Structure 1
Amino acid sequence: MTAAEAGPPGPRPAARYASLAVTAALAAVAGLAFHRVFGYGPVIPVAAVAATVPTLLGGLLSGPRRSGRPRGPLWLALLLTIVAWAATSALTVLRPAPAGGTLPQTLRDGVLNGWKEILTTLLPAPAEPRLLVPVGVLVWLAASGSAELALRTSRRALPCVPALAVWTVALLLGVDGPGTNVPLAAVTVVLIAVLVLVRSGGPGAGPAWRPLALGVPCAAALGALSYLVAPVVPVSADPYDPREQVQAPPPQRRDGVSPLDRVGGWLLRPDQVLFTVESGRTEIERLAVLDAFDGVTWSNTARFVPTGGRVPEGPVRERAHTTTQRITVRELPGVWVPAPDRPRRVDGLPVVADPAAGTLAAARPLAPGQAYTVTSIVPEWTADDLADARLADDAEARAALHLPWGPGATEAPVQLAEFRKFARAATQGAATPVQKASMLAEYLKRYAKYDVTAPPGHGYRQIDHFLAESRRGTPEHFAAAYALLARSAGLPCRLVVGFAGGKRAGDAVQVRAGDVMVWPEVKFEGLGWVRFDPLPDNARRSGGNDAVAAGETAEKLEQAQKNAASREQGAGQEMTEKKRRARPAVRDEPTPWWVFASIAVAALVLAYVLAVLLAPALRTRRRRTGEPAARIAGAWRQALDHLADVGLGTARTLTAHEVARFGASSVGEHARGELVPLADLVDRSRFAAAPPDAAAADRAWRHTDAVGRLVAAKAGRLRRLRRRLHPRSLTGR
């Protein structure tokens, strides 16, 4: 071996084995970062097993002998770890056996499709085996890779890289999940520091406990500092969410019969108990949101996604209250799951949720006796909120203004013109959007009568007949007429089917078929969808003295709407104009993506320039310290770095004196006087019986510094700067 090949000593065999415990802990902590996806309960056993087994297997197969040579080839370790992973997964993640498929099918489906199902599931995701398989795979690969790197390489921090890769995946998949990863990140910082300390010792480096005794307290302090500082680190943008790049499932009809088509039949059997509600507060129960109309039928266009029970929150309202209900299904058909607006958590029943509207649907048709608990945050509005509200103008609101011609129609139906005339007459004199919406509801209340025997139907022809001739209808007719008239008047409107009131039976309220409601909702900017009630005041919802009211929230909303509608039109118009003048003319636009991309590129370039400029200085400082032999070897490596500026390529095949002759021919005879004594010192340091002393190391560095000055004068600044910016400057020779 030549002097040019001298390198830093690797960690002791004992340190390599000790670092396995640290790498296993790093992999396990990285696996626990998936708690924002599944919660800690399902993740802890998967992460523990997937981090421990491959680490033990790697230690048995790849551990060094006393001679330092590995026990087995890498391909054998990889083959055995694949077999061990399949067997361990079958006994842990997939036990008990999954329904609907064999173990190999579930493993294959989890590896290939589990990540996509996680991205299309509302967090926390259900702890199903096929979804937990990707977590086990990633943690297993990280633990196995870290163990192999710890046993087969001498790099101190390199074994932590696989665990950091798992961290990256966990952060991306859990960006929208509950909880925080700050404590786990602090623990990871401590473990990386401990890993470097454990692997820092080499032959002749002194007792192994010395760096640990000094470094572990510093590592713990660093982790504590990371934990305390992380919550207050300023972040100027929302984190990247890969779910925005994954297409949600397409809209699909969840039930063969629309809830709106069931309204007429329910009203003819008013005493049929559909479900019971146990709660300290009575609320209106929403069943289904119908936002699309084709001229004949109202339907739902929700993109339902699986969920472990969480439902994303809607528009944040300052005034809202939280309610929790225990609902038991009795004779409610279909898959639609009743809940107050807006549900945030469902337990006890597997459901899919529409993130936009907050509606819920069961995976299978509901059965009598099924029970679940739902927690909702119900928004509230005041007359002041409604009086100053403007109509929404987003994509959802624009879609809620559409009045189609009808299936197969080639021209607009004549009813549309009649609806526009009716809407203008009903809202004449309205000064604000809320006044227009409230006046339309009040007009319909006085215009028609409530009649449960009216023929069902909500298409153009049926609503035209209801408005022009019969003037009698069910909630289906009143709500559908309001929606068509509202859209004709420029109000974005949709329909909701639900239930209000019920019959008290002990601690529960029995919600019966006669309590069914259909109401329209109009979307306002900053308020979201606001419910309006066009039904006459004498409309029968529940009969008997034991009937309960629709709820305090519904009564407050109706009163606020009446107050907003009764304000003088002139005052309302004046207030609206003042508000408009007070608002800025131009809305704040979101910062374009290319601005963040440019900042990121500039930051990376700056970080790279700083790294390539600082790395040589830090490397030189490290080479000047240590035992005299290590300092002489460092001086020689520093001289080789200098000579690279004048064309020295690889020095692995050259002796020290051959390198000195190259330097003399490339730099000049003055360099010979410095390189030859330096080469003699290097050879004596490596091959002499007695170790060198500190004076020899000082002479070696004086020669190296002189060579550096001579090379700088010979090579020129431009050539040296170009070489400093090369990636090789990060690692040296």
Structure 2
Amino acid sequence: MTRRYVALPVTAALACAAGLAFHRVFGYGPVLPVVAVAAVVPTLLAALLAGRADRPWPLWTSLVLSVAAWAGTAAVTVLRPVAGAFPDAVADALLSAWKSILTTLPPVPADPRSLAFVSALTWLGAAGAAELALRTPWRIAPGLPPLAVFAVALLLGVGGPGSNAVLVASVAVLLAALVLVRSPDAGVRRALTGVPVAAALGGAAFLLVPHVPVGAEPYDPREQVQAPPPQTRDGVSPLDRVGGWLLSDEVLFTVRASRAADQRLVALDRFDGVTWTSTARFVPTGGRVPGTGGDVARRPLDQTVTIAGLPGIWAPAADRPRRLDGLDAVVDPGAGVLAAARPLRRGLTYRVESATPRWDPDELLYADTADDPEARAARALPWGPGETREPVQLVDFRKFAEAATDGSSGPFQQAARLAERLAATARYDVSAPPGHGYRQLDYFLGTSRRGTSEQFATLFAVLGRTIGLPTRVVVGFRPAAPLGGITEVRSRDVLVWPEVKFAGAGWVPFDPTPAKRGKSKRADVAAGESKKLEQAQKDAAARPGDGAGTPPSAAPVPRPAARSGHGAPPWPVLAGALAAALVVGYLAAVLAAPVLRRRRRRAGTPAERVAGAWRQALDAVAALGLRSARTLTAHEVAAFGAERAGDAASGDLRPLADLANRARFAASPVTAADADRAWTHADRIARLAAARTRFARRLHPRELRRDRQRAVRAPRTHTGDDQDTSAAFPWLTRRRAPTRKQ
């Protein structure tokens, strides 16, 4: 087997590793068999079509046959379950699958057309790598097509579950192995030397990739793709249903969970002066819902929801959903709101894995409001449709909010005091007229002073925006305590609450609705973390503030101690450690290389040892300024060295040159004594050269690139036709003028 075929298993493994990077899009299960077939088959086909090294098959023949082979393989494997015309399925896979991948949150459902897209990319990378390995002499060229496939997979998998650290390490090892097996002087000794280097490279990649510092969030192409919004066949906003729900007692859905939690339905963040709507960008999901980030600790909660009489498309779930099973839905990555692709039906059951927040009151007390684009948009207060000047109600709202929060120490205390003032200003009444525009809220605050959570929450959101708090409104349910692990969520359990966005903590809910009266029998007591949060807000509202927006110096609240654990060290430490390791490794390599080279050159037969001594002398003369010795005779090299190093070097260079010529041309072989004498001269020359060169010159990378000595046997005749000594005796490679026959 020639060297070009030896590289094919490496290229196939590279293509397989590149294709497996799609695991962040689909998961390993669906991708593994598809990628294995797409990496191996084109490699075998390229090997069969390679032909002789000097007369390979035309490239176009290999390309045509490879395309036909992919179509046949796809027809009996990944595209076999697809109904309809096969050409249409192929066209859909190659032209449209990437769009569905970009408009779906990973993990993407393993649709045959999407997997066919992965198969085609991996096949292309494997075929290109194999053809380059068979047709080009460039060592790294066959690794470029798999690297391109790897880059596409990384791009499409941004934000997906899992990590590519193992695959990055594997690709690094395989690239090193590819360079190794395609080296002209590849052999067992070189392999034994290169394998540890490749393994060390892979290990370093595996350890360092998870901690590589980045200056910003990775580029996500999904942010550039606008998915169509869900078809809202239910034209009524959940906020407009609140009044009707409160006057009935219908079971809307049931929840099986280990503990009670508020059920969120929809988040509304845009107010036009009349109605609240959502700016959510919904995208399809294969089940995963991205997290919010931030520093808030969260507690997992599994829920099984069964729909009863709940209308519309909005699917209830505890904040915040992380995974959804059993429901074809779209999701808003920003708010975590779930919307069914079709209207909810009675008896529909789905499972939600959520992570409920566990707020730290001390952190919230001194938290500042967020200032990201979403938060800035959540401070807007439009004048209303068709209005040309600010509504007079906003002036009154601003005065009320400023009076309610006067003397507050920070945004959290502002929000807590505003909620407390609202709860004390008006009373809860399920028979109050609905509405949440400027006029209805002004009537609610200034005249009737009775309303439902719809008015209390929306008024809080408007008042908060007048004093700079980023607010939104959430419609959900706070059901009674579960019985036997199952909670019946009834229409009377509906609740509207406002949320304020804080830096690092995200959206924090508040409850300005006072004690419940009237016909509603909704549970008044929050459970679990919601109860703790409400108590923290009450404590913050009652706490005296200094009015400066900073913690009071008289009675400071101790901040939580810094968390100590086994987390990853900060990236500057990792970067410094990596730089130090690289410097130490380089110094060790550049200083050890001459020692190892000298040891290797002293081994072998007397002729090989003489050749090694001469190569050692050539290295020393090169350090004195000799650029190349391939066009010089041995005595010309000796003359140059004597000129640079002085007469002391001449006394060793000329005898060593005589021994080198004798080892190459003499009819009688050199003896062991001649080899010892040659190395005595070489060691003296090396010491003289070292004394005349700076130490920094010995650290130059050229010390790692010195040509290695080739095995040279003692010639049996003066012609030396039975051996290749050009590496040991470079002066023999110069051109000689041809002689004419007499």
Q: Under a length normalisation based on structure 1, what TM-score does the superposition of the two structures give?
A: 0.72
Deviation at 1:31, TM superposition (A): 1.7
| Deviations 1:576-605 (CA, angstroms, capped at 9, x unpaired) | 36899999xxxxxxxxxxx9xxx9xx9xxx
Name the residue aligned to 1:105.
91
Matches within 5 A, 1:204-219: 214=192, 218-219=195-196
Match of 1:576 among 552, 576, 580: 552
1:170 aligns with 2:153: yes
Structure 1 counterpart of 2:9: 21
Shift of 1:58: 0.7
Query: Distance between the aligned counterparts of 1:536 and 1:555, measured in 2?
Result: 15
Q: 1:73 to 1:573 in 2, by over 3 A?
A: closer
CA distance in 1, matches of 2:219, 2:358: 31
Give, in whole Å, the separation in 2 of the partners of 1:70 and 1:111.
Answer: 39
Q: CA deviation at 1:123?
A: 3.4
Which letter does structure 2 place at the counterpart of 1:520? P
Offset at residue 694 of structure 1 (A): 13
2:430 & 2:140 partners in 1: Cα distance?
76
Q: What SS does the corresponding residue of 1:344 show, helix, strand or coil?
A: strand
Superposed counterparts of 1:511-590, under 5 Å? 511-539=489-517, 543=521, 550-569=526-545, 575-576=551-552
- Report the equivalent of 1:83: 68
Structure 1 residues 80 and 617: CA distance shift in structure 2, 3 A: farther
Judged with a 3 Å threshold, the aligned counterparts in structure 2 of structure 1 residues 563 and 406 are, in CA distance, closer, same or farther, namely same
Question: Measured at CA, do residues 155 and 264 of structure 1 come closer, stay the same or move farther in structure 2, by a change above 3 Å?
Answer: closer
* Corresponding position: 1:273 with 2:258: no
Counterpart contact for 1:497–1:517, Cα < 8 Å: yes
Query: Do 1:501 and 1:542's aligned partners in 2 also have CA atoms closer than 8 Å?
Result: no
The alignment partner of 1:62 has SS state of: coil
| The structure with more helix, counted as a fraction of residues | 1
- Aligned twin of 1:230: 206
Q: Residue 392 of structure 1: SS of its match in structure 2?
A: coil
The answer to whether the 8 A contact 2:315-2:340 is kept is yes
* AA in 2 matched with 1:333: P
**1:395 Cα shift?**
3.2
Counterpart selection for 1:324 from 302, 308, 330: 302
In structure 2, what is the equivalent of residue 454 of structure 1?
432
Return the letter of the residue paired with 2:95. Answer: D
* Map of 1:55 onto structure 2: 43
Instruction: Indicate conservation of the 8 Å contact 1:273/1:513, yes or no.
Output: yes
* Distance in 2 (alpha carbons) for counterparts of 1:581 and 1:280: 34
Q: Distance in 2 between matches of 1:69 and 1:372?
A: 64
Aligned length: 680
Q: What RMSD, in angstroms, separates the aligned Cα atoms of the two structures?
A: 5.7
- 8 A Cα contact 1:486 1:492, kept in partner: yes
What CA distance in whole angstroms lies between the structure 2 residues aligned with 1:87 and 1:630? 57
SS of residue paired to 1:281 = coil
Aligned to 2:345: 367
Contact 1:270 1:514 in 2 (8 A): yes
1:647–1:498 CA distance, 2 compared to 1 (3 A): same
Question: For residue 325 of structure 2, what is the aligned residue in structure 1?
Answer: 347
Residue identity matched to 2:447: E
Map Cα deviations across residues 479-526 of structure 1 (whole Å, 9 max, x no partner): 112211222233222101111115857542121222111111122333
Aligned to 1:43: 31
Q: Distance in 2 between matches of 1:240 and 1:131?
A: 30
- Greater relative contact order structure (CA < 8 Å, 6+ sep): 1
Q: Which residue of the partner structure matches residue 93 of structure 1?
A: 78
Alignment pair present for 1:152 and 2:130: no
Are 2:408 and 2:546, in contact at CA under 8 Å, matched by a contact in 1?
Answer: no
- Whether the aligned pair in 2 keeps the contact of 1:186 and 1:224 (CA below 8 Å) is no
Residues of 2 paired with 1:170 and 1:259: CA distance? 40
Tell me whether 1:492 sits opposite 2:470 in the alignment: yes
Equivalent position SS for 1:558: helix
5 Å-filtered alignment, 1:626-665, equals: none
Identify the residue that residue 592 of structure 1 maps to in structure 2: none
The residue aligned with 1:712 is none
In structure 1, give the amino acid aligned to 2:64.
L
What's the secondary structure of 1:49's corresponding residue?
Answer: helix
- Assess if the C-alpha contact under 8 Å between 1:24 and 1:52 holds in 2: yes
Cα gap change, 1:725/1:311 in structure 2, threshold over 3 Å: closer, same or farther? same
1:55 deviation in Å?
0.9
Cα separation, partners in 2 of 1:617 and 1:106, compared to 1, 3 Å: farther
Alignment-mate amino acid for residue 349 of structure 1: L
Three-state SS of the structure 2 residue aligned to 1:81 is: helix
Aligned-partner Cα distance in 1 for 2:339–2:503: 27
- 2:497 is paired with a residue whose SS is strand
Aligned residue for 1:352, secondary structure, equals strand
Q: Distance in 1 between matches of 2:408 and 2:180?
A: 76
- 1:299 corresponds, among 277, 292, 297, to 277
One-letter amino acid matched to 2:535: Q
- Whichever residue aligns with residue 107 of structure 1, its letter is A
Of 624-633 and 163-172, deviating more is 624-633
Once the two structures are TM-superposed, the CA of residue 542 in structure 1 deviates from its matched residue by 6.2
The Cα shift of 1:322 comes to: 1.7
The answer (yes or no) to whether the contact 1:501–1:549 under 8 Å persists in 2 is no
Partner of 2:418: 440
- Contact 1:173–1:242 under 8 Å retained in 2: no
Q: Distance in 2 between matches of 1:57 and 1:293?
A: 62
Question: 1:529 offset after TM fit, Å?
Answer: 1.8
How far the C-alpha of 1:276 sits from its partner, in A, is: 1.5
| Distance change (3 Å), C-alpha of 1:240 and 1:401 | closer
* Counterparts of 2:30 and 2:237, CA distance in 1: 37
State whether residues 7 and 133 of structure 2, in contact with CA within 8 Å, keep that contact through their aligned partners in structure 1: yes
Once residues 524 and 79 of structure 1 are traced to their aligned partners in structure 2, the CA distance between those partners, rounded to angstroms, is 59
**Residue in structure 2 matching 1:183, options 166, 182, 189:** 166
**Deviation at residue 346 of structure 1 after TM alignment:** 1.8
Secondary structure, counterpart of 1:102 in structure 2:
helix
Name the SS for the 1:287 alignment partner.
strand
Aligned residue type for 2:268: L
- Gaps of at least 5 residues in structure 1 are 1-11, 584-594, 664-674, 686-690, 699-720
1:138 to 99, 108, 121: 121
Report the secondary structure of 1:417's partner residue.
helix
The verdict on how the C-alpha distance between 1:730 and 1:498 changes in structure 2, with shifts beyond 3 A counting, is farther
Q: Indicate the residue corresponding to 2:392 in structure 1.
A: 414
Q: Is the 8 A contact 2:271 2:381 kept in 1?
A: yes
Please report how far the alpha carbon of residue 288 of structure 1 lies from its aligned counterpart in structure 2 after TM superposition.
1.0
**Contact 1:432–1:576 (CA under 8 A) maintained in structure 2:** no
Give the 3 Å change call, closer, same or farther, for CA 310–555 of structure 1 in structure 2: same
2:408 and 2:98 map into 1 onto residues whose CA distance is 58
Separation (CA, whole Å) in 1 of partners of 2:204 and 2:508: 42
Q: Which amino acid aligns with 2:150?
A: W
Structure 1 residue 307: Cα displacement? 3.0
1:667 matched residue in structure 2: none
Q: Is the 8 A contact 1:503 1:511 kept in 2?
A: no
Answer yes or no: is the 8 Å Cα contact 1:274–1:513 preserved in 2: yes
- In 2, the alpha carbon distance for the partners of 1:445 and 1:479 equals 10
Tell me the amino acid that sits aligned with residue 92 of structure 2. T
Q: Distance in 2 between matches of 1:30 and 1:403?
A: 50
Given the alignment of the two structures, is residue 476 of structure 1 paired with residue 454 of structure 2, yes or no?
yes
